[in-house]
Copies of this chain bind each other. A is one copy, B any other.
Amino acid sequence: MTPNKENFIKAIYELGGDDKIISNKELAQALSISAASVTEMNTRLLKEDLISHVPYRGVKLTPSGKCIANRLIRKHRIWEVFLAEKLGYDWNEVHADADLLEHASSDRLIERLNDFLDKPTFDPHGGVIPNKDGSLPETSKFPLTDIAIGEHFKVKEVDDDKDFLNYLRQKGIQLNHSYTLVAVDPFESSLTLRSADNSEKIIGQKAALKILVDYESPA
């Protein structure tokens, strides 16, 4: 596993390749290389069973590919915590150095660093730190009604009720999308959410109880 391969895996992950197929073109643009180079790297990673491939559609990470991506992100984020918390880096400075260090860190080093930092849960950007084994920590899910005004969250689970799902679709609320709670009506208890595209959605209190969410970093 070379730094290059690691970065390739990471790029797939960051484009969403843990659950959807990422096209050749997207990757080529993200990495600033030609599409042909992407194909070439794909064949290498395919051999190692780190990605799965749908011809002419693109690639996504296999379970072991996801594991590697998460372990790399774990290293990256633990370093970020160290740089920010112990070395006084500004939050916008941490990324570059963490990007170098993540490829030069033994497991032992990362675990000791993790202990030294008191096992942080989030990096300075609010990103969650994956587990040692490459899995993602159990993320708590709780009703949208428990969110405080101004907080950012992601929709994790919704009640499997046809009418309710239609209601959500009509409102434009989608699973795994992120929103910010901007207001709660004092009388009706209806919630005003702002989505990533800055549109505002008003949700009734009854619906809010059935939407499970989790905190998320603002980025």
Interface positions of A (Cβ within 8 A of B): 83, 86-89, 93, 96-97, 100-101, 103-106, 108-109, 112-113, 115-116
The secondary structure that dominates the A interface is: helix
Interchain CB contact under 8 A, B96 and A106? yes
Q: Which residues of B contact A88 (CB under 8 A)?
A: 112
Give the Cβ gap from A39 to chain B, nearest Cβ, in Å: 27
Max chain B CB contacts within 10 Å: which of A86, A101, A106, A109?
A109
Answer whether A103 and B104 are a contact pair too, CB < 8 Å, given A87-B112, A89-B112, A116-B86.
Answer: yes
Q: Which residues of B contact A86 (CB under 8 A)?
A: 116
Max chain B CB contacts within 10 Å: which of A83, A88, A104?
A104
Interchain CB contact under 8 A, B112 and A106? no
Q: How many Å lie between the Cα of A115 and that of B86 in the bound state?
A: 10
Interchain CB contact under 8 A, A104 and B108? no
Q: Which residues of B contact A100 (CB under 8 A)?
A: 104-106
Interchain CB contact under 8 A, B106 and A97? yes
Name the residue on B nearest A88 (C-beta). Answer: B112
Give the Cβ gap from A15 to chain B, nearest Cβ, in Å: 25
Q: How many Å lie between the Cα of A87 and that of B115 in the bound state?
A: 8
Name the residue on B nearest A114 (C-beta). Answer: B87
Partner of A109, one of B97, B108, B109, B115: B97
Interchain CB contact under 8 A, B87 and A116? yes
Q: Which residues of B contact A112 (CB under 8 A)?
A: 83, 87-89
